[in-house]
């Protein structure tokens, strides 16, 4: 029995293995080292100035496909090594331009439509709306509305907007138009001083704001015209037929009826309007020397009275003859057939009179009567201007 011990086995280690430190699991990972390769072009820094770009050639033009050395560009070249596109001299060839779309087919010219009003004037005809207004059927605006709704016929044929008609044309109006017109109202208001007759201006209210149930005259409310009672729709489209300045008082007509408005303020209107005017004699102005406030009639020259009646002009136009008489030593009565802005006051200034009070008491055959200041009433069924 042999007593020899087995030889001890020797563990062979690789060179440098004993000095290798174990990897730290918490250490940050490093990017793997890329194997050496061909030289790569360096990117241009963003802060470095870039060379100006040359304009690209026109669409469809042939571009150079070669590198700086004239050799064909290979796929292995990077974008930074590509040469700048060559600038083509002159305009591109016509063959390289894209084909244009075919030109649109021109539209046929519209059929000639003559101006009906001009044709009518040549034939001695007038517009239908003017003819209806001249006949007193309605106003021009109402006529246009009725024509648009098909309520008007000319010689049995439905009328067209702007149609010229001869003077002897038979004009028929549908009952619907008459019914609409019968619902329109005309209101007589005793306008106070401080209210404007038209639209509000300079902080002053319009006279139309006084129209309402509380301000209706009691005498008219007991027996209203045609049995009418005030309703909110009576204020819609209510417009003054004539002006009465803010410093004046008296009769003011407001209406929804175009026929009434045409009668009172139409171009050919000759309706009389009567005023009572209190005056001072002021040959040098209301603040100047020689002012006379009592017994003005005694000192007012008769020649100036003749000018008031006829001979004055306003805005470069001669005024129509007027009736002017003394009611008492300090008050005049004017009857005019026109209504220019502040006409009586401006007429009096030209002859040395200063108006201190003005009141309108009559328009046509309609009188103010005992209607209180600030109140109104309906125009009676038997009243006509």
- The rounded distance, in Å, linking the Cα atoms of 182 and 12 is 129
With tokens 């440098």, the residue in question is 16
- The rounded distance, in Å, linking the Cα atoms of 173 and 163 is 15
CA–CA distances in Å: residue 185 to residues 64, 105, 188, 192, 231: 89, 58, 10, 21, 11
pLDDT tier, 293 (very low <50, low <70, confident <90, very high otherwise): very high
Nearest Cα neighbor of 207 from 191, 220, 188, 224 is 191
Task: For 222-260, write each residue's pLDDT tens digit.
Answer: 666 666 778 888 888 888 998 899 999 999 999 988 888
pLDDT tier, 136 (very low <50, low <70, confident <90, very high otherwise): confident
To the query of whether residue 168 is one of the catalytic residues in this protein, the response is: no
Mean pLDDT, residues 275-287 taken together: 94
Task: For 166-175, write each residue's pLDDT tens digit.
Answer: 988 899 998 8
Instruction: Give backbone dihedrals phi and psi of 152, rounded to 5 degrees, phi first.
Output: -125, 135
pLDDT tier, 337 (very low <50, low <70, confident <90, very high otherwise): very high
Active-site position among 245, 257, 315, 325: 245
Task: For 59-106, write each residue's pLDDT tens digit.
Answer: 445 554 545 455 555 555 445 555 555 655 555 555 556 667 666 666
pLDDT tier, 339 (very low <50, low <70, confident <90, very high otherwise): confident
Nearest Cα neighbor of 219 from 59, 347, 55, 380 is 380
> Token pair for residue 85?
């596109």
Mean pLDDT, residues 39-48 taken together: 51
* CA trace torsion 85, 87, 93, 96 (10° rounding): 20
> Token pair for residue 10?
């020797």
Strands (E), 164-266: 164-165, 171-173, 186-191, 239-240, 249-255
Contact 232, 343 (CB under 8 A): no
DSSP state of 231: -
> Quick one: pLDDT at residue 334?
97
Task: For 147-158, write each residue's pLDDT tens digit.
Answer: 998 999 998 899
Mean pLDDT, residues 187-202 taken together: 89
Does the pTM exceed 0.85?
Answer: no
Burial 131-159 (b: 16+ CB within 10 A, else e): bbbeeebbbbebbbbbbeeebbebeeeeb
pLDDT tier, 204 (very low <50, low <70, confident <90, very high otherwise): confident
């Amino acid at each position: 029995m042999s007593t020899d011990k087995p030889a001890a086995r020797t563990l062979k280690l690789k060179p440098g293995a004993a000095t290798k430190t174990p990897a730290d699991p918490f250490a940050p990972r490093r990017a793997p080292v890329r194997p050496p390769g061909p030289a790569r072009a360096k990117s241009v820094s963003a802060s470095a100035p870039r060379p100006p770009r040359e304009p690209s050639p026109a669409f469809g033009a042939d571009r150079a496909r070669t590198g700086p050395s004239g050799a064909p560009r290979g796929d292995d070249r990077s974008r930074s090594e590509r040469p700048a596109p060559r600038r083509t001299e002159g305009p591109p060839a016509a063959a390289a331009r894209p084909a244009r779309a075919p030109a649109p087919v021109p539209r046929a010219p519209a059929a000639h439509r003559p101006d009906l009003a001009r044709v009518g004037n040549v034939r001695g005809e007038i517009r239908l709306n003017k003819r209806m207004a001249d006949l007193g059927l309605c106003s021009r605006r109402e006529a246009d509305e009725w024509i648009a709704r098909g309520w008007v016929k000319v010689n049995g044929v439905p009328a067209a907007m702007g149609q010229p008609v001869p003077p002897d044309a038979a004009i028929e109006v549908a009952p619907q138009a008459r019914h609409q017109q019968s619902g329109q109202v005309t209101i007589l208001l005793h306008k106070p001083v401080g209210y404007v007759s038209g639209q509000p201006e300079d902080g002053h209210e319009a006279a139309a704001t006084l129209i309402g149930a509380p301000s209706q005259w009691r005498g008219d409310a007991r027996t209203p015209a045609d049995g009418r009672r005030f309703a909110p729709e009576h204020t819609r489209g209510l417009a003054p037929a004539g002006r009465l300045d803010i410093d004046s008082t008296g009769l003011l007509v407001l209406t929804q009826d175009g026929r009434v408005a045409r009668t009172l303020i139409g171009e050919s209107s000759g309706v009389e309007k009567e005023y009572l005017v209190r005056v001072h004699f002021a040959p040098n102005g209301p603040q100047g020397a020689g002012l006379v406030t009592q017994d003005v009639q005694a000192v007012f020259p008769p020649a100036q009275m003749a000018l008031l009646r006829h001979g004055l002009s306003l805005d470069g136009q001669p005024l129509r003859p007027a009736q002017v008489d003394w009611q008492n030593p300090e008050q005049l009565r004017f009857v005019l057939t026109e209504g220019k802005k502040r006409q009586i006051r401006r007429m009096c200034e030209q002859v040395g009179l200063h108006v201190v009070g003005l009141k309108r008491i009559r328009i046509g055959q309609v009188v103010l009567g005992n209607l209180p200041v600030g109140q109104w009433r309906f125009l009676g069924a038997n009243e006509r201007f």
